[in-house]
């Protein structure tokens, strides 16, 4: 009966989201309904306060979005894209794989897929058009690259934060667990996409004049420094980890590792000064970027933390009726089943809802603590990584995702046309994630 009620509620949730209702509203109402059915309506009251007051959630996510806003304000995101795109201008066979790689790498610095597409699209799309690729081909390249999971290598991403809270593992350990499957999934998807897009009708027989692909911009030390700012926090996180003991004095202050938000704050101050131009006063420059940073923090709260709160409400309802414990016990006794189910479940929920964050966070909060309590922390990290990858792949394939709509508008094509192209490469990527999870578990 418990499983039946849960299935009916999940079906109702997916149906409501597909009809256009706000995913946060639907999840919160579903959580309230489940707690009422379970006879424990008070179980959901403290969820909002506990989530907002949890510095392990709000700190990394909001500071990462604040840093991304500062990078965008000083043009560091554009410099990164321009620097990465220089090699592919000289070799057209690199346009599809190179374009996807640019989107993936930029998404590491900017956890928002839509913001990543906004930074990469204006540079990448004209290159693809000039090389003779169709609008659908160009849009599919942009969508896959910007949305397949580069954000999962950012320590402030919501999925990383959820796995870290669910397992207690440090962010660098989670990113290390994600590195191989995410890169493998990207390679598999890009190889298939490249083969598909270099055939009719996506590629014209006569390429445009090669002069259209030339890059006349000059690389300067300042432009290189601006581009380096984007991956700086990720690099810094690995360098300062206590296990390397490269900074003993820092390790003495932070024996468990420096907090992610501290690294983001330090990187933000550096970006403020690197991005300074003599054309404006220093005071006005710093004032503007400070405002951008806090606007980014607010964006993180409104767009990401709010989804985590809603997902937590839904989980409180699932916990109240006992379905969480039932599913966790089932997966706990069969690690191979867990390795297969974790990416498939989150992939399906993301595909239906258009949100990658909600399914990934829900899975991490609901299932991973059970594995940790049984002494299987390493397996919990692997499952959390696989679930996060599945959710990102499902979101990229979803016809109702925000990034899908944005890219379709940018490329002037229908969203479903893009989905038709990326469906096969992303399905292969999902299979790759499942196979890697089976081997790792």
Provide the CA 423 distance to its chain's centre, in angstroms: 18
Residue 351 placed within a domain: yes
Helical H segments across 131-213, by residue range: 135-147, 158-167, 171-197
Residue 36 placed within a domain: no
Residue 329 placed within a domain: yes
Encoding tokens for residue 3? Answer: 């499983």
Encoding tokens for residue 228? Answer: 């380096």
Residue 54 to residues 196, 371, 384: CA-CA distances in angstroms? 46, 22, 20
**Closest by Cα among 325, 199, 170 to 259:** 170
Neighbours of 283 (CB within 10 A): 8
**pLDDT number for residue 208:** 46
Q: What does 227-275 look like in DSSP terms, one character per residue? A: HHHTTHHHHHHHHT-TTT-S-HHHHHH-TT---HHHHHHHHHHHHHHHT
Residue 44 placed within a domain: no
Environment class of residue 19 by beta-carbon count within 10 Å: exposed (0-12), middle (13-18) or buried (19+)? exposed
Residue 80 placed within a domain: yes
User: What are the 10-residue block averages of pLDDT along the chain, 441 residues in total?
Assistant: 78 85 89 87 81 83 91 89 80 87 91 88 88 91 93 92 93 92 96 89 52 61 88 87 84 85 93 86 92 94 87 85 79 88 92 85 90 92 95 91 90 91 96 93 76
Overall number of domains in the chain:
1
Residue 21 placed within a domain: no
Residue 10 placed within a domain: no
Q: Which domain holds residue 333?
A: 54-304+319-440
Residue carrying structure tokens 């510095």? 55
**pLDDT number for residue 187:** 97
**Closest by Cα among 311, 316, 385, 401 to 350:** 401
CA–CA gap between residue 345 and residue 353 (Å, rounded): 12
Find out whether 247 and 240 touch, Cβ atoms under 8 Å: yes
**pLDDT number for residue 211:** 43
Residue 309 placed within a domain: no
């Amino acid at each position: 009966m418990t499983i039946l009620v849960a299935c009916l509620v999940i079906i109702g949730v997916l149906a409501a989201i597909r009809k256009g209702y706000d995913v946060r509203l639907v999840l919160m109402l579903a959580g309230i309904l489940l707690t009422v059915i379970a006879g424990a309506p008070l179980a959901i009251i403290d969820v909002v306060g506990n989530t907002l007051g949890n510095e392990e959630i709000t700190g990394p996510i909001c500071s990462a979005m604040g840093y991304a806003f500062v990078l965008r304000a000083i043009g560091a995101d554009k410099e990164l894209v321009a620097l990465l795109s220089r090699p592919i201008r000289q070799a057209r066979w690199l346009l599809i794989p190179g374009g996807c790689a640019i989107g993936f790498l930029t998404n590491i610095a900017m956890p928002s897929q839509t913001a990543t597409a906004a930074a990469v699209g204006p540079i990448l799309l004209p290159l693809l058009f000039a090389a003779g690729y169709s609008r659908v081909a160009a849009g599919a390249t942009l969508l896959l690259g910007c949305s397949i999971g580069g954000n999962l290598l950012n320590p402030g991403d919501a999925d990383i934060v959820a796995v870290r809270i669910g397992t207690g593992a440090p962010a660098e350990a989670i990113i290390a667990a994600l590195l191989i499957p995410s890169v493998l999934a990207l390679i598999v998807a890009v190889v298939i996409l490249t083969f598909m897009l270099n055939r009719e009708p996506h590629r014209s027989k006569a390429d445009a004049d090669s002069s259209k692909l030339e890059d006349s911009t000059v690389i300067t030390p300042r432009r290189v420094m601006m581009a380096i700012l984007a991956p700086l926090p990720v690099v810094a996180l690995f360098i300062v980890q206590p296990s390397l003991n490269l900074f003993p004095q820092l390790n003495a202050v932070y024996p468990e590792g420096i907090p992610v938000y501290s690294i983001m704050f330090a990187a933000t101050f550096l970006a403020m000064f690197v991005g300074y131009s003599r054309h404006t006063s220093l005071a006005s420059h710093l004032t503007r970027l400070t405002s951008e940073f806090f606007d980014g923090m607010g964006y993180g709260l409104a767009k990401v933390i709010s989804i985590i709160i809603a997902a937590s409400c839904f989980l409180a309802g699932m916990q109240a009726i006992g379905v969480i414990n039932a599913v966790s016990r089932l997966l706990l006794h069969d690690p191979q089943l867990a390795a297969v189910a974790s990416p498939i479940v989150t992939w399906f929920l993301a595909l239906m809802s258009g949100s990658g964050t909600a399914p990934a966070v829900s899975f991490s909060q609901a299932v991973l603590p059970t594995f940790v309590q049984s002494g299987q922390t390493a397996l919990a990290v692997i499952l959390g990584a696989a679930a996060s990858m599945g959710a990102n792949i499902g979101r990229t394939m979803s016809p109702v995702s925000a990034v899908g709509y944005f890219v379709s508008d940018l490329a002037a094509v229908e969203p479903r046309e893009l989905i038709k192209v990326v469906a096969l490469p992303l399905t292969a990527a999902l299979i790759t994630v499942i196979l890697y999870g089976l081997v790792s578990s």
